Chains A and B, each alone.
Chain A
């Protein structure tokens, strides 16, 4: 189990930041991803492995409208 934005979420082997974003349907382009506090640049999403019990924060930067 991992935590995504403070809520528990099931982990599975092979999970990457990209696959997690796809699973969560986080399609908004303007986001910041941090895994255990570490900033993950967009170019690393495909290869950045998410481990079991990781704390993932996906900040959507729209405060507008």
Chain B
């Protein structure tokens, strides 16, 4: 359709033991295309995936770089295990950039075919730098060693149309469509900071392009700021050992064992194959963990209306291909096919809605007070096709709705929209406004932290209240778990390097229900081990879900069932079998910690990553309002008696709220101290040179950043 403005031919590198050994660099300012060598240093210190992303990003930017600076890069890499087909969850692409929401490195991951096909096309990693002066798309043909940059003004913006059109454009025929993957965003990405990236894979049974998202932190916003409409990769010929693993027999053996577990146990455990991640919605409500009406409470009687069974029986299409990479028997992706849209530019059309994931039902449902499956799916579809991170959207709009109900903002500010909890049509209108870059919706796209300032400075809202109820830390909106009663998870969110996403640690059951980690040191150990372990998935190209959303039948006999030791050993075995190396479970943690500490230092370099940046809003820690206190009065009164020796009978409600707050804020301070010690940080949150040396990361450029902060 558009004019090809640059062509580049290359000889695709063959993948050996998980690495192609090459990375691709494209600068869209001057259309420069270069090949780089993946060095032994990079493999040793950064392993792959997110590690490679952060290393390239570090070298691309300066402390003055902002998200929209030309030198900011979007970097993506799949990792050495990525692309094997014998185990579940092996197609993750890791993406990093300097975030428009946080100003520090964000990392996010997505399923879909792009990362594996990119590697099989000869590229372990891909750096996108510069800013184009017109809309373009980048096409990588991995079979023929060809890269094209094409003008793309005339292509549609929204993902469901764009991915379909590009998949058809580059496919020779219907059968060829599975060999193509598109990374794109949508029309809302250029109007706000919470634009996300869609990663497509073609579903030959449904005959539609489907998507997984690298959603967090505004990566789609950056893509559109660079005027890149899409990245497309084509590779035909995926076979089980394109990674040329050192020991394919071991990979086969571990894979067969795992698939048998999945076959035998999933229906008795989490039912990931039947409903996917949304299986936990009712559970979260029953345990008081489902964020409801801006995290005020942890559940609602109305949640039965959006229970998993409702989606399974009335909305989802079962029995079709639901994995987002070959060989994944967990198959947790789900679809509502032939869904009739009732609003927006596509009203009246029937579409396939990918989802809903747990975060979607919790965020666009309970947290907005919307207990209507149809409205959840419609918001889900439009967030996806417009390129909106629905977690940031939901948490931001939940904050707005509470501001509206507490009369901090009003219809004069919202363009007349009655933004009360439960108003699904108003939420949909906001989403459409974000797409058009109009009205109050355009403000919503700026995210919670920016809105706090606008509401206070321009609308006269109460700054203390807004600081307490705006659920963001470091500028990133919280993921959808209520966690007031779990001190460990308060740290799991607010001490997470990139911001409050739960992919570092989800400790609520261990802490709040199981009572396995009662002391500060116990919690700090958990906030060391789990973030380090879970970082590793992002280094090698794996999905986290197959680790612990199903466990071996005899997992209960192990010393530490929460770690799922047999699955950890599976990962060690697979890594060694792919790469020919010989790590053990301790070196796995070491690989992670190198990148984890590197990312923390990177944040320090960009002006954050200190103690002041690790504080949560008070709503994360405890009850802000009288209604919240009263909703759990028995528990909170008991804590006043048992933990502080106070007599709640003699205290006013405001006195009880204040005493609870003093206690909980002090507990959080003590948690920070313990975690910092365990992670080898100063009490200001700075990784020490000694710790960096212990893990082999005392690189001069890192020491140069941390030393002035000691």
Interface positions of A (Cβ within 8 A of B): 5-7, 25-30, 32, 39, 57-65
Contacts and interface: CB of A to CB of B under 8 A. Distances in A.
Contacts of A63: 506-507, 509-510, 530, 548, 562-563
A5 B544 CA distance: 27
Interface residues of B, number: 35
Nearest to B286: A27
16 contacts: A26-B513, A27-B282, A27-B283, A28-B283, A29-B270, A39-B556, A59-B516, A59-B556, A60-B510, A61-B561, A62-B509, A63-B506, A63-B507, A64-B548, A65-B280, A65-B481
A6 B513 CA distance: 10
B514 A29 contact: no
Nearest to A4: B515
B18 to A, nearest CB: 25
A49 to B, nearest CB: 20
Contacts of B530: 63
Of all A-B residue pairs in the complex, the 10 with the closest CB atoms, nearest first, are: A65-B506, A60-B509, A32-B556, A5-B515, A6-B515, A63-B562, A65-B502, A27-B286, A64-B548, A62-B509
B551 A61 contact: yes
Interface of B: 268-270, 280, 282-283, 286-287, 358, 479, 481, 502, 506-510, 513-516, 518, 530, 544-545, 547-549, 551, 555-557, 561-563
Interface centre among A25, A28, A57, A61 (most CB of B within 10 A): A61
Contacts of A28: 283, 287, 509
A25 B516 CA distance: 19
Contact of B268 (A29, A58, A61): A29
Contact of B547 (A5, A6, A30, A64): A64
A61 B562 contact: yes
A39 B530 CA distance: 25
A39 to B, nearest CB: 6
Contact of A60 (B513, B555, B556, B557): B513
A27 B290 CA distance: 14
B579 to A, nearest CB: 26
A22 B571 CA distance: 36
Contacts of B515: 5-7
A27 B555 CA distance: 20
B438 to A, nearest CB: 35
A43 to B, nearest CB: 11
Contacts of B481: 65
A60 B502 CA distance: 18
Contacts of B549: 64
Contact of B514 (A5, A30, A64, A65): A5
A60 B545 contact: no
Contacts of B506: 62-65
A54 to B, nearest CB: 16
Contacts, number: 70
Contacts of B514: 5, 57-60
A13 to B, nearest CB: 26
A5 B548 contact: no
Nearest to A32: B556
A62 B548 contact: yes
Contacts of A60: 509-510, 513-514
A64 B505 CA distance: 7
Contacts of A62: 280, 506, 508-509, 548
Contacts of A30: 269-270, 551
B600 to A, nearest CB: 22
Nearest to B547: A64
B552 to A, nearest CB: 11
A60 B289 CA distance: 14
A31 to B, nearest CB: 9
A8 B93 CA distance: 47
A63 B544 CA distance: 11
Contacts of A29: 268-270
Contact of B557 (A39, A57, A59): A39
Nearest to A60: B509
A32 B561 contact: yes
Nearest to B481: A65
Nearest to A63: B562
A62 B509 CA distance: 7
B568 to A, nearest CB: 12
Contacts of A59: 514, 516, 556, 561-562
Nearest to B548: A64
Contacts of B513: 5, 26, 58, 60
A57 B280 CA distance: 22
Given A30-B270, A63-B509, A63-B530, A6 B518 contact: yes
B690 to A, nearest CB: 30
A59 B509 CA distance: 8
Contacts of B510: 60, 63
Contacts of B287: 25, 27-28
Nearest to A6: B515
Nearest to A29: B269
Given A25-B286, A29-B268, A30-B269, A64 B545 contact: yes
A17 B511 CA distance: 22
B280 to A, nearest CB: 8
Contacts of A39: 556-557
A8 to B, nearest CB: 11
A64 B479 CA distance: 13
A64 B557 CA distance: 20
Contacts of B555: 32, 61
B286 A61 contact: no
Contacts of B563: 63
Given A30-B551, A32-B556, A60-B513, 10 more contacts: A5-B514, A25-B287, A29-B268, A32-B561, A59-B516, A59-B562, A61-B562, A62-B509, A63-B509, A63-B530
A29 B270 CA distance: 7
Interface centre among B282, B509, B530, B544 (most CB of A within 10 A): B509
A22 to B, nearest CB: 12
